[in-house]
A and B are shown apart, each in its own frame.
Chain A
Amino acid sequence: MNDLTYATETAPPPEMDSAKIAKIVTRNVNVYYGDKQALIDVNLDIYEHEVTALIGPSGCGKSTYLRCLNRMNDVIDICRVTGDILLDGQDVYTSDLDVVQLRAQVGMVFQKPNPFPKSIYDNVAYGPRIHGLAQGRAELDTIVQQSLERAGLWKEVQDRLDEPGTGLSGGQQQRLCIARAIAVNPEVILMDEPCSALDPIATARIEELIDELRENYTIVIVTHSMQQAARVSQRTAFFHLGELVEVGETEHIFTNPSDSRTQGYITGRFG
């Protein structure tokens, strides 16, 4: 399934920034959907307690890259991944790695809010339940409350935890999904265009939340909005046609991109 002969020594040297710890290291990642290659030799490091934004035009492979990080691509039969993806130095694509454990470590928030058609409480409690994180009801209650508080939703829903999560507004639903993701206490949270289905006010709240979450989690966010990338991220990676074109400090990317394609995209000439 994966080709480990792509050893790190043939890869270009990782970006030198000794002050930061790389949480996820990806080397020579290639992804194929059947015959079509969706990602070409991507080398990207994700640093701890930072928000990394992946930008680029539609179909450029940023969502594909994101889904490699917690192996959500496994669900797609025709998808094939080669190269090394290391989480804390451990290859996530080795066969002896437990996908369930990986996804508990690397949580995910999706483009469309997708709460389970269960109560708000059960939505948040589901992850801890299946991973056996709580001993007894009291502890579970605490986890649910903390997660909802961290997601900035507690005040709004504390009186109606047993109401269906699908009854909340779009923005609330998305925050519920974030609460659900952080309830299993992941180290990394992947967000796949989390605000694309939300209005500007709800978007602003989510962005605030992302900034707060950065303290405790490493966040990778795919976004179509360059303003959003500029607002929430510390580092930005620009993808184009399956290639990682440029990566660097967000400020640097947006003010002084070194590649002309990046320049073209952020100034709106194409994309």
Chain B
Amino acid sequence: MTDAAMPPTGPPPGGVADIRRPTIAHAHLRRRYAAERRFKLYGLASIAVAGLVLLLLIGSIVSKGYSAFWQYYVQIDITFAAEELNPNGGQVEDTTVRSADYLKLVRDGLKHAFPDATKSRRDRRALYGLVSANSDVVLRNMVLDDPSIIGTTRNVWLKLSDDMDTFAKGNIKRNLPESDRRVSDQEIGWYDILASQDRITARFNIDLFRNGDSREPEEAGIYGALIGSILTLTVTLLVSFPIGVMTAVYLEEFAPKNRWTDLIEVNINNLAAVPSIVFGLLGLAVFLNFFGLPRSAPLVGGLVLALMTLPTIIITARSALKAVPPSIREAALGLGASPLQVVAHHVLPLAMPGVLTGTIIGMAQALGETAPLLMIGMVAFIVDVPQGFTDPATVLPVQIYIWADSPERAFVERTSAAIMILLGFLVLMNLVAVVLRRKFERRW
């Protein structure tokens, strides 16, 4: 072997066997170099494949979802008729204004725009379907904000209904046969007229970030689920980080090495491999049925996810603690530091970057988890934005699942948009972790 590894240095003195040696070495060397080159190529190829798949994934999500970030509006002349809104005249009263028929205002406005489309009931229904079903609420809020508009006619931008919006974004093709699309030729005609009058415009879809869930795609937003995720992850972090780190520190630094600690270690490792739905069942049995905590609440969701995250944090924290050189412990002990001081002053700060990485990995897992939440009622259609840890809430991945499951065409793009927001949230979390790590590492 040693001969083969040496470069050939001309024919050495001696017999035939000696002369043959360099050529053997040559071939051997060539094979070795070729193997190394191949190995490098395999590595490059796998990186390329992984990168391509990632690009494909992100590309498909972005290309499907980018259009969800704006919403088409139509401008309609609305007459805020006094006889409708304030039939008794005199002082504008909140209750009558609140309960007035705003839908009629919307319809009147649409009829005014297309007077010839009001002959049959079917035409009228189609016409009313141009704008969002939520338009009456918009008008009511306008009146409540400023009662002085009663009795005037205003140009109001109303959201297009989800199908018209989808059509406007080009996601429903004009050249399909009429029976194959959700938008009729008549509606396309109206749209074209409105467009030619510059009465159609696209705006940033701020409601996507501001609203809770809704059955109307144009009203549905991610905000409720985002807050739900933040509340849930807060509980998860507050519960799993201290418990996980304390467990790791105790097992690694203080616990005697005996059969019991071995058993605990094996169990923790097994716990990391338990399917997450089992944690949901546990949460259902313990937190809901035994402790009587509220259903669908971020508090319970956070606790369940904390149970799921704990093994990850414990295992990574332990390996981070193990990686701290024993010489540091000896140095501190030799100076007369107590075991607690050794851990608190030296070992834990040195292990902190690793511990934080583990925590972020665990939290990222928790952020993307839906299965355990199924059991505790967090996979649900929840409209209201949660105000606290015990309010009914859902989380981002559940929202994605619910939207993906909805039949409306407009939810397709919103699903992808929600995925983008989830990924953005994840990137943000990782960024925080990186910043924290930097900070901890700079202290030395």
Contacts and interface: CB of A to CB of B under 8 A. Distances in A.
B341 interface: yes
Interface string B324-352: 01011111111111100100011000100
A126 B345 contact: yes
A186 to B, nearest CB: 9
A130 B336 contact: yes
Contact of A103 (B256, B336, B345, B444): B336
A129 B338 CA distance: 13
A127 B328 contact: no
B257 to A, nearest CB: 6
A131 B327 CA distance: 21
Contacts of B330: 72, 75, 108, 110, 114
Contacts of B336: 99-104, 127, 130-131, 184
Contacts of A116: 328, 331-332, 346
A177 B335 CA distance: 10
Interface in B36-50: none
Contacts of B345: 126, 130
A25 interface: no
B331 A103 contact: no
Given A110-B327, A116-B346, A164 B333 contact: no
A19 B328 CA distance: 40
B442 to A, nearest CB: 11
A70 interface: yes
Interface string B304-338: 00000000000000000000010111111111111
Interface in A83-103: 99-103
Interface residues of A, number: 28
A77 B327 CA distance: 17
A70 B337 CA distance: 13
A134 to B, nearest CB: 14
B333 A75 contact: yes
Contacts of B329: 75
Contacts of B346: 116
B334 A107 contact: yes
A165 B83 CA distance: 85
A107 B336 CA distance: 8
Nearest to A108: B334
A177 B337 contact: no
A117 B350 contact: yes
Nearest to B441: A117
Contacts, number: 64
Interface string B131-175: 000000000000000000000000000000000000000000000
Contact of A177 (B257, B331, B333): B331
Contacts of A110: 327, 330-331, 334
Contacts of A101: 336
Given A117-B444, A118-B444, A112 B335 contact: no
Contacts of A232: none
Contacts of A77: 256-257
Contact of A70 (B256, B257, B334): B334
A181 interface: yes
A59 to B, nearest CB: 19
A175 interface: no
A101 B328 CA distance: 19
A54 B289 CA distance: 68
B333 A103 contact: yes
Give the size category of B's interface with A: 20 to 34
Interface string A175-196: 0010011001000000000000
A193 to B, nearest CB: 13
A70 B327 CA distance: 16
A108 B257 CA distance: 26
Contact of B333 (A72, A115, A117): A72
A77 B329 CA distance: 15
A126 B444 contact: no
Contacts of A126: 332, 335, 337, 345
B341 A181 contact: no
A130 B327 contact: no
Nearest to B330: A110
Contacts of B332: 116, 126
B110 to A, nearest CB: 72
Contacts of A72: 330, 333-334
Nearest to B329: A75
Contacts of B337: 100, 126, 130
Contacts of A102: 336
Contacts of B327: 110, 112, 114
Contacts of A184: 335-336
A53 to B, nearest CB: 20
B331 to A, nearest CB: 5
Given A112-B327, A114-B328, A117-B350, A127 B256 contact: no
A107 B331 contact: no
A107 B332 CA distance: 11
Most buried by A among B325, B330, B345, B350: B330
Contact of A130 (B256, B328, B341, B444): B341
Interface in B254-301: 256-257
A126 B334 CA distance: 12
Interface in A33-75: 70, 72, 75
Interface in B51-88: none
B335 A114 contact: no
Contacts of B350: 117
A103 B257 contact: no
Nearest to A112: B327
A226 to B, nearest CB: 26
B333 A180 contact: no
Nearest to A115: B331
A164 B444 contact: yes
A107 B335 CA distance: 6
Nearest to B327: A114
9 A-B pairs with the lowest CB-CB distances in the bound complex, closest first: A103-B336, A108-B334, A114-B327, A104-B336, A127-B335, A117-B444, A114-B331, A100-B336, A130-B337
30 contacts: A72-B330, A72-B333, A75-B333, A77-B256, A77-B257, A100-B336, A100-B337, A103-B333, A103-B334, A103-B335, A104-B336, A107-B335, A110-B334, A114-B325, A114-B330, A114-B331, A115-B331, A116-B328, A117-B350, A117-B444, A118-B444, A126-B335, A126-B337, A126-B345, A127-B336, A164-B444, A177-B331, A180-B331, A181-B335, A184-B335
